[in-house]
Amino acid sequence: MDLTGIGSVADLAKGLIDRFFPPDVTPEQRAKVQIEVEKMLQQDRNVLLDAQKSIIVAEMQQADTYTKRARPTIVYAGLGYIFLVHVFMPLVAFFTSKALPTVVLPSEFWWAWSGVCGIWIVGRSTEKKGVKNKLVSMITGKG
Q: Given this model, what pLDDT does residue 3 score? A: 45
The pLDDT score that the predictor gives to residue 60 is 66
The backbone torsions φ and ψ at residue 4, rounded to the nearest 5 degrees and listed phi first, read -100, -10
- pLDDT tens for the chain, 143 residues long, are 444 445 576 777 777 777 777 777 788 887 888 788 888 888 888 888 887 777 767 766 767 666 666 667 888 899 999 999 999 999 998 899 888 888 889 999 999 999 888 887 887 777 777 777 777 676 666 65
The pTM for the full model equals 0.45
pLDDT at 71: 67
Which DSSP string corresponds to 21-33? S-TTS-HHHHHHH
- Separation of alpha carbons 101 and 94, rounded Å: 13
Of residues 7, 6, 5, 29, the one with CA closest to residue 17: 29
Task: Give the span between the Cα atoms of 74 and 80, in whole angstroms.
Answer: 10
Alpha carbon distance 82, 138 (integer Å):
27
